[in-house]
Every structure is written in C-alpha cells, then in structure tokens.
Amino acid sequence: MSLKTNLHSLGEKLDSLSPSDGLALLSDLFPGKVIFSTSLGQEDQVITQLIAENLLDIHIFSLDTGRLFPETLDLIARTESKYKKRIEVLYPERTSVEKLVADIGINGFYDSVENRKSCCFVRKVEPLKRALAGNSVWVTGLRAEQSPNRADMKKIEWDEANQIIKFNPLLDWTYDQMIVYINENNIPYNPLHDKGFISIGCAPCTRAISEGEDPRAGRWWWEESKKECGLHIK
C-alpha cells in the first residue's frame, strides 16, 4: 500500500475498529514498519498495554531528553517489567546539547519561546526524526480533548514533516474513559499524575495544575503560546 494514498478509506475502516483492532490492522498492513513513540503519559501507557497484551508487532520507543522527572524514568523500568517488552530509549546528540547550552545557558529556555523551541528541537524533535526514519506508521497517544490544537486531528493522517502515516488510536477517548481503563487493567502510571501533573514533560517545563485549569496549562506555564514542542505540528 502506498503510504500517502488510500488514507481516507483506511481511516473509514479504522473508525469502525477498537484501538487494539486498529493497531492490529496496521501492524498486519505494514509488517515491521509500525512504531510507537511513548512519553509514558497515561494515554501512552494504555497503548503500550494494548500492544504488549495483544503481542502486536509494533516497536516501542521513548525519548530521554536529559531533563525528565525521575518518576518518568522509573516508569520505563516498571512498564518493561510488567509487560516483558523492551522500550527503546533514544537520546539527543551530545554535541547538539552542548552547543545549545553554550548558546542559551542551562535554563535558557525560560528566556523566550524561540529558545524553548530550540531546546525542544534538540532534545525531542531531532531524536524523533531519527526514530521515525524508514518506518511507515507512527502511533501516538494524542487525544482530541487534550488541547484546542488537537481537536481537529483525525485518527489517521499524513504527517508531511516526517513523511509518515500518523495513527492516533485514542483520539476520541475522554479523560474519564482513559482513567477507567487504566484502573480496570492495572496499568502502571506515573505517580506525579496523582499530584496534579496531568501532562508531564521535562521537569523544568512542567508544573502541577489547579482544579479547573486546562490540562496542558502546566506545560511551559510561563509562556503565552500554543503549548506544543514541535513533535505534533502539521
């Protein structure tokens, strides 16, 4: 199947399938070419459980930016232990990080949106591009209700920047639906979620939110921006 063509008909088929059946279909259509990027968030933990429990041929990887919470790193180990499946961990290029810090300072991302996006590019976007290269389908844990920027996304779409099909199996799930599934299936999750951290990224760029705040208000809270790092921009 050509990557960019027939997405509409494939999307119609996926809309009628459960997340696990959708993942199974794509792993059959693109054997050895489906890859899942997990940030260890609750959505991603659900997808990891679906992949592992159904023995799907989908490679799982995560990005260690060098600034993650210890709880996030510990969750990688707990997840691997529970599901007996290795999560590949990718790191930013050492020379790129050293140049970034030399240019803007160790915490220079607080000084401007431009600096913060430069940091995200070095620590997240570039390693992601390396991981996606040569694959056909990129699975993500995006949900439409996470932010206005994601509300108009489709379950399956063409990612022009990375030249890959992007599949968002939980796109139409609600937060409550996700929590029920996690509890019913005893899925390990980051303990920071129980302390008000709904969306968890790098430690210096994430804070807990108060009741009633937008779920992504704790990400880059000092900015007036679209609250995205560059991984999911069309």
Strand 164-167 to 156-159 pairing: antiparallel
Q: What's the alpha-carbon Rg for the chain, to the nearest Å?
A: 17
- Least Cα distance to 47 among 34, 31, 30, 32 occurs for 34
Three-state secondary structure string covering 14-45? HHCCCHHHHHHHHHHHCCCCEEEECCCCHHHH
Per-residue tokens: 27: 């792993």
As a whole number of angstroms, the distance between CA 194 and CA 177 comes to: 17
Is 15 noted as a catalytic residue in this protein?
A: no
Answer yes or no: is 120 a known binding residue.
Answer: yes
Active-site residue, from 10, 51, 229, 231: 229
**CA–CA dist 230, 212 (Å, integer):** 26
What is the CB neighbour count within 10 angstroms for residue 199?
A: 20
Q: Please check if 77 is assigned to a binding site.
A: no
The annotation status of 119 as a binding-site residue, yes or no, is yes
Pick from 200, 102, 92, 191: which is nearest to 146 by CA? 200
Numbered residues of the known binding site for [4Fe-4S] cluster = 119-120, 202, 205
Numbered residues of the known binding site = 119-120, 202, 205
Q: Which residues are catalytic?
A: 229
